[in-house]
């Protein structure tokens, strides 16, 4: 894959038309301003377009040197700069950033050091990198990139236009849909943590299922998705997984759900569609999370959530001395409850 090629400047009016944003400017000729890059409010200068999506940074609109900004209607009056007004500034920024930073087209071919089984079917438009290993009866789709050191086990299916960054491992019989992106260190289809305790020892339970991944899924670096014990672990379409996530066997993650880094999901849990799960949340096994649920960072979810909403299960941070005092008080709550109940019973008897 070659280096990214510079993109010539684009007039602000054209950016508005291509993104569906409204161009708002005091000067009639503002639409002719040429934009050639994106930048933060702090770093932008002439020729750059910046964006504001978080209100806490609104004060920086006054000092930015950007040629134009992307804002919501609520923030449009906070700057005299030419602006693209849109209900979704961050999404509009993402589209414009992609215009100025197109992904280079891969050069198809198989590296001389790659090992490909004779029964594998690799599209002629695919790229297979150095020391990649492709197992028996594997299917690699059109324009898919399997980069250096990747291992794709026997009987796997990898769809069209996928990117497997260096050192991705896909265990046998896994299925990956179209346009998947897997970052370095991803492991798909390792055995789930299935153990049966017997006479003081652990017996390994064979993990006989698969991992099935839908279309347009992105999986961050060093994230692991375990295969099912009997049925399949399923990641539905357009799921976005951050780095260092653990998804246990037989889980199902609903379409369009986004999960931040360091989340752990125990086996046989079903996460609904359009959910958002904050970093380091821990989710118990064998439960269900309703569609549209938002789980705050560092929350512990022990039981099913049947109604969508925002759920938080973590203490806010406190100075250490205050935290110790709070814990001390909490340890006395049971005794306090018992005293209150005894007092209520005594007063009831007096009546």
Alpha-carbon separation of residue 158 from 120, 121, 186 (angstroms):
11, 10, 15
Domain boundaries, the chain: 10-100, 109-311, 320-350
Q: For residue 256, what are its two tokens?
A: 């369009």
Q: For residue 274, what are its two tokens?
A: 């359009």
pTM equals: 0.91
Catalytic hit among 147, 165, 183, 249:
249
pLDDT tens for each residue of the chain, 351 residues long: 555 555 689 999 999 999 999 999 999 999 999 999 999 999 999 999 999 999 999 999 999 999 999 999 999 999 999 999 999 999 999 999 999 999 888 899 999 999 999 999 999 999 999 999 999 999 999 999 999 999 999 999 999 999 999 999 999 999 999 999 999 999 999 999 999 999 999 999 999 999 999 999 999 999 999 999 999 999 999 999 999 999 999 999 999 999 999 999 999 999 999 999 999 999 999 999 999 999 999 999 999 999 999 999 988 889 999 999 999 999 999 999 999 999 999 887 555
8 A C-beta contact, residue 180 and residue 157: no
Residue 60 φ then ψ, to 5° = -75, -10
Q: Can 325 be counted among the known catalytic residues?
A: no
Q: Distance between CA atoms of 259 and 252, rounded to whole angstroms?
A: 13
The reply to whether CATH 2.160.10.10 applies to domain 109-311 is yes
Closest by CA to 39, choosing from 25, 29, 51, is: 51
- Sequence-distant (6+) residues with CB within 8 A of 33 are 11, 12, 67, 68, 82
The reply to whether CATH 3.40.1390.10 applies to domain 10-100 is yes
8 A C-beta contact, residue 57 and residue 74: no
């Amino acid at each position: 894959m070659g280096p990214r090629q510079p993109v010539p400047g684009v007039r602000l009016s054209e950016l508005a038309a291509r993104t569906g944003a409204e161009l708002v400017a005091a000067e009639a000729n503002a639409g002719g301003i040429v934009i050639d890059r994106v930048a933060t409010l702090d770093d932008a200068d002439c020729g750059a377009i910046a964006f504001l999506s978080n209100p806490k940074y609104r004060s920086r609109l006054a000092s930015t040197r950007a040629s134009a900004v992307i804002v919501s209607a609520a923030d449009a009056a906070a700057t005299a700069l030419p602006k693209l007004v849109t209900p979704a500034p961050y999404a509009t920024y993402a589209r414009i950033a992609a215009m100025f930073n197109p992904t280079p087209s891969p050069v198809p071919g198989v590296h001389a050091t790659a090992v490909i089984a004779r029964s594998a079917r690799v599209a002629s438009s695919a790229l297979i990198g150095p020391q990649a290993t492709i197992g028996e009866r594997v299917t690699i789709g059109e324009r898919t990139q399997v980069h250096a050191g990747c291992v794709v086990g026997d009987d796997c299916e990898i769809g069209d236009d996928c990117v497997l960054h260096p050192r991705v491992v896909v265990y046998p019989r896994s299925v990956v849909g179209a346009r998947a992106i897997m970052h370095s260190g991803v492991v798909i289809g390792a055995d789930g943590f299935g153990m049966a305790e017997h006479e003081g020892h652990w017996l390994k339970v064979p993990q006989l299922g698969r991992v099935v991944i839908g279309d347009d899924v992105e999986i961050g670096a060093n994230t692991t998705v375990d295969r099912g014990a009997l049925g399949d672990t399923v990641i539905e379409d357009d799921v976005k997984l951050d780095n260092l996530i653990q998804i246990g066997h037989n889980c199902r993650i609903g379409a369009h759900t986004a999960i931040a880094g360091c989340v752990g999901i125990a086996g046989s849990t079903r996460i609904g569609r359009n959910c958002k799960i904050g970093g380091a949340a821990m989710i118990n096994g064998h439960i269900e999370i309703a569609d549209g649920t938002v789980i705050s960072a560092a929350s512990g979810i022990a039981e099913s959530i049947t109604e969508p909403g925002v759920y938080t299960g973590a203490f806010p941070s406190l100075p250490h001395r205050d935290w110790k005092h709070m814990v001390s008080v909490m340890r006395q709550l049971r005794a306090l409850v018992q005293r209150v109940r005894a007092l209520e019973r005594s007063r009831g008897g007096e009546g």
